[in-house]
Structure 1
């Protein structure tokens, strides 16, 4: 049972990341449970897509807002570690804030849980301070 769960977790996580990387947001959303425990910590007053989400509509809005404000410059996945239903994806990204022209980079750990073939938990651990500074460059200009 452990190997089946681990295999399912890994395949769902890989498919989710592949869909996101291809810009297929709607396909990626089909791999999310509803409700789900989605959390990206950060200043929600400054960066509206940060915070908690629990529905497909809210996650869709997360990606819409992020895509309207950021241009990806680099996104690398270094490792996916799986333990039963849980997966940790380690990597590094760099984005540019379109309104300010400022770039920010961060290592990240994405914590995922897969239950019955769907992602039920998505917690992003990143340098939200660096992201805030890139957005604040607009205020300082």
Structure 2
């Protein structure tokens, strides 16, 4: 899981998705009406598409995981982030939470919790889909 986070922080989508189970689920708790990759995405190939859309829409200036804890198959962490929205140049900064389920060395489920009101307001101001 730490290797997947390092790969993502480095911008390496190909390496990141190798740590996902084939039938993994990625849930970004942001409106699908505002972000094409919001909501729940099922399957490694579909998640890879969503991840590429994220990287196409935002420059990741800071992606710093911290407060990582695990309990059985569950991994929880906070992530400090600073993203630049490519279309507008506007900055989106803050912290969000990740909750992952891991089985046999692969991520089977990843839930991403942002300050939903802040992110959705940002996307309304600077452009969603």
For this pair of structures, how many residues does the alignment match? 127
TM-score by length of 1: 0.82
Query: Partner residue of 1:112?
Result: 100
Distance 1:105 1:85 in 2: 29
Query: Partner residue of 1:8?
Result: none
Larger Rg computed on CA atoms? 1
Query: Partner residue of 1:40?
Result: 28
Query: Equivalent residues in 2 for 1:91-110 (5 A)?
Result: 91-110=79-98
Greater helix share, structure number: 1
Query: Equivalent residues in 2 for 1:119-138 (5 A)?
Result: 119-138=107-126
Q: RMSD of aligned C-alpha atoms?
A: 1.5
After TM superposition, the runs of 4+ consecutive aligned structure 1 residues lying more than 6 A away are none
Distance 1:97 1:22 in 2: 18
Given the alignment of the two structures, is residue 89 of structure 1 paired with residue 89 of structure 2, yes or no?
no
Unaligned runs of 5+ in 1: 1-12
